[in-house]
Amino acid sequence: MLINQSYMTLVILVKLLYNSLIYDKNTTKKEGKMLNKEKNRRKTEKGEKTKQKLYTAAATLFNQHDFREVTVDRIVKQAGVAKGTFYIYFESKDALIVSFLLDYVRKVDIDYRAVLDSFSPGTSSSRMLLGLISKIADTLTDVIGCTSMRTVYKLLLADDIDTDAVKGYNRDLYKIFSELLKRGIESGEFCDTLSLDEMARHFVMAIRGICYEWCIRYPDFDLKEQALAHFQILLDGIKVK
């Protein structure tokens, strides 16, 4: 349902959506303590192995069933460990899902610059931006899928995610847009009444609004088509008249 590796393209959008959303108990906890001698590596490795067992079990199940259908009990049973053990390595089921989605995204992630570079140098910034949007839409539709995005959006709204983590959640896409916008302003294509930062922020907001709409209206909503039309308006709004 989720894995569909053949489609190679970029997934900036999703990546940024999870960025620093990941609060991996294990990693965080160890960061400060595991730089001891080599001796206790055996201890650590055992834990790491258990964590991996849990993760693998979960991943297997996630690929076969809906997130909701995969219970923690099933995961621990499949992994052959006790339930309590799960919570040694993962903050919550949600945290594991986020972790899983992030890993998945990493696999299909490629350098967005490759996409931008594929355009001939003379291409207008608008065109490049629309090209990027197009790619993102394709990836979301064909690789990530609506179900996963839904989960992401729900998790982002979860109360138990610390504010700081959320704040930096979209640095990446933000940066890309920022660069493209800068290019457009410098070439005199876009006007600079708004600061780069603000413009980029609005673009990120827009793309999330569209994605959200897609999530709740799926399948009666053509993400790519709507996204392109929407950004066309936004671009017209910032173009030099």
Question: Which residue ranges make up the site for a copy of itself (CB under 8 A)?
Answer: 68, 150, 153-154, 156-157, 159, 163, 166-167, 169, 194, 198, 201-202, 205-210, 212-213, 215-217, 220, 226, 229-230, 232-238, 241
Residue 118, CA distances (Å) to 71, 113, 122, 167, 181 in order = 43, 8, 11, 31, 18
Residues at the site binding DNA, with contacts judged by CB under 7 A: 26, 29, 33, 36-37, 39-44, 46-50, 70-73, 81-88, 92-94
Q: What percent of the chain is helix, strand and coil (3-state, nearest 5)? A: 70, 0, 30
Contacts of 157 (CB under 8 A, 6+ apart): none
User: Per-residue DSSP letters for 8-45?
Assistant: ----HHHHHHHTTT---HHHHHHHTTS-S-STTHHHHH
Give me the least distance between CB of 108 and a copy of itself, in Å please.
Answer: 23
Residue 3, CA distances (Å) to 38, 62, 147, 163, 190 in order = 37, 10, 12, 31, 39
**Residue 84 or 188 having the CB closest to DNA:** 84
* Residue 198, contacted partner among a copy of itself, DNA, none, CB below 5-8 A by kind: a copy of itself
Contacts of 236 (CB under 8 A, 6+ apart): none
Give me the least distance between CB of 224 and DNA, in Å please.
Answer: 33
Give me the least distance between CB of 235 and a copy of itself, in Å please.
Answer: 7
Contacts of 147 (CB under 8 A, 6+ apart): 1, 2, 66, 67
**Residue 30 or 202 having the CB closest to a copy of itself:** 202
* Residue 35, contacted partner among a copy of itself, DNA, none, CB below 5-8 A by kind: none
Residue at token pair 């055996």: 42
CA 239 from centre of chain: 29
**Residue 91 or 222 having the CB closest to a copy of itself:** 222
Compute the distance between CA of residue 203 and CA of residue 173 in angstroms, rounded to an integer: 9
Give me the least distance between CB of 140 and DNA, in Å please.
Answer: 25
**Residue 158 or 205 having the CB closest to DNA:** 158
Give me the least distance between CB of 159 and a copy of itself, in Å please.
Answer: 7
**Residue 97 or 140 having the CB closest to DNA:** 97
Give me the least distance between CB of 83 and DNA, in Å please.
Answer: 5
**Residue 35 or 157 having the CB closest to a copy of itself:** 157
* Residue 215, contacted partner among DNA, a copy of itself, none, CB below 5-8 A by kind: a copy of itself
Compute the distance between CA of residue 7 and CA of residue 23 in angstroms, rounded to an integer: 29
